[in-house]
Structure 1
Amino acid sequence: MKLREAPPRMATGAFILHSGLQKLRGDDATAEMIHGMACGAYPVFKKLSPQQFLRMLSIGEITTGALLLAPIVPTALAGAALTGFSGALLGLYARTPGMREPGSVFPTQEGMVLAKDSWMFGIGLGLLADAAAERCPQH
């Protein structure tokens, strides 16, 4: 990991890891709310119980956060994990009614909780771009 990659990796990694650890202790009401929202955007999750989904989400967040925080993890892998994770969250934002102003990409007050994940998507793309630039010969 390069020094310039450390701040975005540490900030997003700590945020995502903390979120995942909190979800490990999620109660039934939390599991049902998060599962219901996810099923609206991604019907495949209906196959899981709310608690199964919450545990899977928690493990995914913990894994993504750990990949970002571990300096031995290559930037390309950390960037791909963050881009994939945040891309799924942005899909939830785009597919859930009431999250965006009508006819716009801009969030409603309710949508702010998901729209903020766009910064993680940008950081993930930045990490991927940095890794790609390292692989290309300099001219």
Structure 2
Amino acid sequence: MIIKARSISKGTGSGRLLVSEAPISFLSGVDPASGIIIEEGHPLQGVCIKDTVLAFPFGKGSTVGSYIIYALRRNNVAPAALINAEAEVIIAVGAIMAGIPMIDNLEGGFSQLQTGMAATVDGDAGELRLEDPADS
């Protein structure tokens, strides 16, 4: 299945989809050394985002979050790609600085995304390619 979206950061990244219904704060919510979500009470607390296609509604928190995304890449624990319902500046700048492909505004919204699906974000074309986990 191919879903059209708006391109935020160029490039292509593939991995297993990791979906969060809750926003993510990269400044205080993600450990830049390990890539593990550390925010108390977050639905993905304790989960590593390394090499995933990380989908979440939007970012929250300080502008320093952009640098945390960059640090994740430097430490080789960054997601392969990012998907937002609606990108905001902190996450977009972080993705661009780190060279992480990113899209937002998916046609049909987030309801079609399921954790575990094989996913490829094409930030050049503004597309998300999905495979059902049973097919891969």
Shorter chain as denominator, the TM-score bin is under 0.3
Q: Which has the higher strand share?
A: 2
Structure with the greater alpha carbon radius of gyration: 1
- Which protein, 1 or 2, shows the higher relative CO under an 8 Å CA cutoff with sep ≥ 6? 2
TM-score, normalisation: structure 1: 0.26
Q: Which has the higher helix share?
A: 1
